Amino acid sequence: MGNEEQEAGVQFPVGPDGRRSTTTTGKAVLAAAVREVDAELADAIEGQAEWRRNYGPHLVRLVTLAIESREAVSMVSNGLAAAHESFRFHRDGEEMTPREAMQHFAAPLYETGVVEGAGERRTILEVPHRGERLSGDALGRQIDDWTGRGMLEPSAADALRELMDNPEWLDLRDLHFALLGAGAEVGPFDVLSSFGANVIAVDLHRADIWQRLIARARAGAGRMFFPLRESVPPDADDEQIAERAGSDLLRRAPEIATWLGGFDIPFCVGGYAYLHGPDHVRVEIAMDAIMERLLEHRSDVALAFLLTPTDVFVIPKEAAEAARADFANKRPSRLWREPLRQVSGGRLFAPNAERTVRDANGNAFGLYDGIVPQQGPNYALAKRIQKWRALTARAAGHRVSANVAPSTATASVMMRKEFAAAFAGARHYGVEVFEPETTNAVMAALLIHDLRQEDCPANPAFPLRHPLELFMDKSVHGGLWRAGLQLRSVLEIAAVRGFLSGSRTN
């Protein structure tokens, strides 16, 4: 592959020194988001040394500023604008912003392939959990257990029960979902397909990916639409179809947006593609450019995101109070916990969600800081772009499903020994790590609820006290919001306990 091809698509900008600095770009984007409201904070972000180690407190200040200000939506709009002005799109020797590329390279490129599912449509809500498929009373007991142990917010439990009580909502033959990163390990493809949904799938043009997706679509009960780079003969088998299917979000975002815009039906666009390190930010910019382009021209497009619990959130006051109570109640461990905390300068065994913040109208919320420095500032920036797009889209009148998903034992996470060990030890600190199939079922169910239920925050007509309440609703945080100890303050100790236990997850 030539250098020009390697450089094609969405890229970090080149600085004066000829290098692509993820640190410089990330700081500039975050500073631009807050500069109009708090120039001092913007300057502090841009001047911060050792960014990878010190980015977390700035994200806390950013969220605090957003809740206390009446300018939260304008802040995130400024952040998105800065991101799209900073990043570059390269093709055929030309360089421009992603927004410019969406117009410059908008010519149609793809045909549409269709695969019909042959499976029997599921009619009830089922959740795989520890080797069983839970439904009915068994699922109800599991929801009660999760709620009682603080693994999810009551609003999530209520939504799951409402789906169980309204099984007609699970007939998805009338709904269309455009999944960017359809083959993602944590994503709703299989669940939606099992309920008869029409899935518009986008993923890399790799035959192995599409062979799996086609097989999964045929086993489902819905239809899968997908981009084809060239026509497929009428008698083509699945292997031949897979060779022609797919598209690269990083390099072909404008053409993907054009192809998606050709579906003359309402649909929900979900951003599920994930890449490691700086590439995660690049693919988020690509997906965001596609979403922005569709939202500009369509009023019938909804958005869907899976948020990470290892971030900064304003949380319900009740969740913060539960965390403080849990911290206070662990009296036996305080005999050794407090000395270790003092010796570490407060780094170990720090209390969780101890701060209360108020919005401009005096409403009180808890402040949860779940940043895990090991995930890095690129991960934080990528997830921030998701939140920013969710807020701006909802403010513009689009339905948005943006629910917090639990920490999940995906293959990419479990490949890192330190994370696998930390996950195994997490149960000792009130945290449950979910298996991928459990996460997928629960989060797909909440997505369906967000699209079916009118009386919920996903609906832009539903009144919120503050825009950030969108992220408080239906959170399945796996206990992280309500645990007494801040996650990163026990992560190393959890890893040690996980190594000693020899267990993968709880």
With a cut of 70, list the residues of the chain below it in pLDDT.
Answer: 1-6, 330-336, 499-506
Name the amino acid, one letter, at 241.
I
Q: Which helix (H) or strand (E) holds 84?
A: helix 72-86
Tens-digit pLDDT profile for residues 401-428: 999 999 998 877 777 777 777 777 888 8
Question: What's the pLDDT score for residue 336?
Answer: 67
Taking the C-alpha atoms of residue 178 and residue 351, their distance in angstroms, rounded to an integer, is 41
Q: Specify the pLDDT at position 424.
A: 76
Element (H, E) at 293: helix 278-297
Cα atoms found within 13 Å of the Cα of residue 109, Cβ hemisphere only? 19
Supply the pLDDT for residue 503.
Answer: 52
CA atoms lying within 13 Å on the CB side of residue 138? 11
Residue with token string 């700081």? 27
Q: DSSP string of 220-243? A: SSSEEEEEESS---TT--HHHHHH
Question: How many angstroms separate the CA atoms of 258 and 47, rounded?
Answer: 40
CA 363, CA 180: separation in Å to the nearest integer?
36
Output the CA torsion 252→198→302→161 (10° steps): -140
Torsion over CA of 247, 248, 252 and 255, rounded to 10 degrees? 30
Segment 212-257, tens digit of pLDDT: 999 999 999 999 999 999 999 989 999 999 999 999 999 999 999 9
Q: Residue written as tokens 């042959």?
A: 118
Residue where the block lists tokens 């993820």: 22
Give the distance, in angstroms, between the CA of residue 148 and the centroid of all CA atoms in the same chain: 25
Say what the pLDDT of residue 502 is: 60
d(CA 73, CA 37): 12
Looking at residue 2, its pLDDT comes to 45
Q: What is the pLDDT of residues 50-69, one digit of tens each?
A: 999 999 999 999 999 999 99
Q: What is the pLDDT of residue 501?
A: 66
Q: How many CB atoms lie within 10 A of CB 130?
A: 9
d(CA 51, CA 44): 11
Q: How far apart are CA 33 and CA 445, in angstroms?
A: 33
When computed from its CA atoms, the radius of gyration of the chain, rounded to whole angstroms, is 22
- CA nearest to 311, candidates 227, 397, 389, 406: 406
Q: Identify the CA nearest to 350 among candidates 479, 481, 485.
A: 485
Helix, coil or strand: residue 406: coil
Longest dimension (CA), the chain: 73
Residue 297 pLDDT:
93
The model's pTM is 0.95
* 122 and 194 Cβ atoms separated by less than 8 Å: yes
Tokens of 289: 């450019």
Distance CA 54, CA 57 (A): 7
Percent of the chain with pLDDT over 70: 95
The residue type found at 490 is V
Of 439, 376, 411, 442, which Cα lies nearest the Cα of 504? 411
Q: Locate 360 and state its tokens.
A: 């401009």
